[in-house]
Homo-oligomer: A and B are copies of this chain.
Amino acid sequence: MPIVTIQVTREGTAPDRPSVTAEEKAALIAGVSEVLLRVLNKPLESTFVVIEEVDTDNWGWGGLPVLDYRRQRAAKK
């Protein structure tokens, strides 16, 4: 009965995608469920997966909203 919660920022993986696509969500669900099956022998039908998409304003890193932090890190390089 594992529960896997995946928290990611609400962003796309390519410039023309505003957010994670349904296909990518399905691939995340399949992928982590298979990890639980392979490592701990948990049957697929006993694993729940919850994906939480978090607005970039609501995600902090380095003491800053994440987009500001990324800009700061890019500027330093």
Contact = CB atoms under 8 A, between A and B. Distances in A.
Interface string A13-37: 1000000101011111111111111
Number of copies: 6
28 contacts: A1-B8, A1-B9, A1-B48, A1-B61, A2-B7, A2-B8, A3-B3, A3-B6, A4-B4, A4-B32, A6-B36, A8-B36, A13-B40, A20-B40, A22-B65, A24-B39, A25-B65, A29-B64, A31-B38, A32-B32, A44-B63, A47-B61, A47-B63, A49-B59, A49-B60, A50-B54, A51-B54, A51-B60
A11 to B, nearest CB: 9
Contact-residue size bin, chain A (C-beta under 8 Å from the other chain): 35 or more
Given A1-B9, A2-B6, 9 more contacts: A1-B48, A3-B50, A8-B42, A26-B64, A32-B35, A33-B63, A45-B69, A47-B60, A51-B54
